[in-house]
Structure 1
Amino acid sequence: MTRAPSLSGHCLCGAVQIVLTDPAREIEICQCAMCRRWAGSFYSAQTGEKAEIDGEESIGVYRSSEWAERAFCSRCGSNLWYRFLPTGGRSFSAGLFDEAAGHAIEKEIFVNERAAWCRIEGDHLRQTGEEVIAEAKAAGFTFD
């Protein structure tokens, strides 16, 4: 995976500004029903080694499951990030970053839950929800 020095982005109204240091040059797509409901189609995730966030007073957080929370701008409603609570790791909405529009897809997960109108072409890794959960459990995470 190649990385750039940094990637800057912001929510729709600009109240929340995010700079990712050492961002991935590929994005991950999640097709699970929860992400589809949250994002309106699929969730495109941009990651980086470190995130600097300005405008934290405009950030709302919703705990969407026992293991995850999702953040949004409380002024304009833009989705900001998904946080996996066991590790604290965040994936940011790729749509926040103009430069991410040119990034390739690394992988697509929960493909067994995707809507018929969310089919994505291309040669990238595709995993079912069962495969993703099995991979996470093998890494030591529990979802009970």
Structure 2
Amino acid sequence: MTTGRCLCGDITFTVNTKLTDASVCHCGQCRKQSGHLWASAVAPLAEVEIEGPVHWYEASGRAKRGFCPRCGSFLFWKAHDEDTIGIALGALHEPTGITLERHIFTADKGDYYEITDGLPQR
């Protein structure tokens, strides 16, 4: 079981299974919403319990992003046609036991940093 919350604590969540596919997203939308890049891992939606006033932003015709309306923490990413949910690694209580696996949308990364950790890039 893994738990987490937003910055102000209005939203809490519990993941009742192992989080998988830990990645860092460098796409323009994640960079705009987070202010840099977004690290997340994935769980089946049915295994995640969320409490609190999550606001969902329809980021595209493909997915929505969940955040706290009080403190602005960007917590979740949910594709409309999938039964999984991406959860922000920074919102998890430690220790997480999670290791990053890859970087995604690296062609869209900002010009102000380099990716030098040796993880696979897509």
Q: Place the TM-score, normalised by the shorter chain, in its bin.
A: 0.7 to 0.9
**What residue number does 2:49 align with?**
52
Aligned pair partner of 1:80 in 61, 75, 78: 75
Between the aligned partners of 1:102 and 1:92, the Cα distance in structure 2 is 15
Q: Is contact 2:57-2:64 (8 Å) kept? A: yes
- Residue of structure 2 in register with 1:69 after alignment: 64
Q: Does residue 27 of structure 1 match 2:17?
A: no
More helix, by proportion: 1
Higher RCO, 1 vs 2 (CA within 8 Å, ≥6 residues apart) = 2
Q: Secondary structure at the match of 1:37?
A: helix
Q: Unpaired runs of 5+ in structure 2?
A: none
Q: Tell me whether 1:113 sits opposite 2:108 in the alignment.
A: yes
Number of matched pairs: 120
**What secondary structure, in the 3-state scheme, does the structure 2 residue paired with 1:47 have?**
strand
Distance across 2 between alignment mates of 1:73 and 1:64: 15
**The residue matched to 2:24 in structure 1 has which SS?**
strand
Flag the 1:51–1:23 CA change in 2: closer, same or farther, 3 A. same
CA deviations over 1:76-101 (Å, ceiling 9, x no partner): 11111010111142101111103266
Alpha-carbon distance in structure 2 between the residues aligned to 1:18 and 1:72:
12
The SS at the match of 1:9 is: strand
Q: Give unpaired runs (5+ residues) of structure 1.
A: 1-5, 128-144
Residue 70 to residue 19, structure 1, CA distance change in 2 (3 Å): same
Cα separation, 1, equivalents of 2:57 and 2:69: 11
Q: Distance in 2 between matches of 1:63 and 1:78?
A: 16
Instruction: Give the structure-2-normalised TM-score.
Output: 0.87
| 1:80 partner SS | strand
Letter in 2 for 1:52: E
In percent, how many aligned pairs have the same letter?
26
Could you say which residue in structure 1 is the equivalent of 2:9? 14
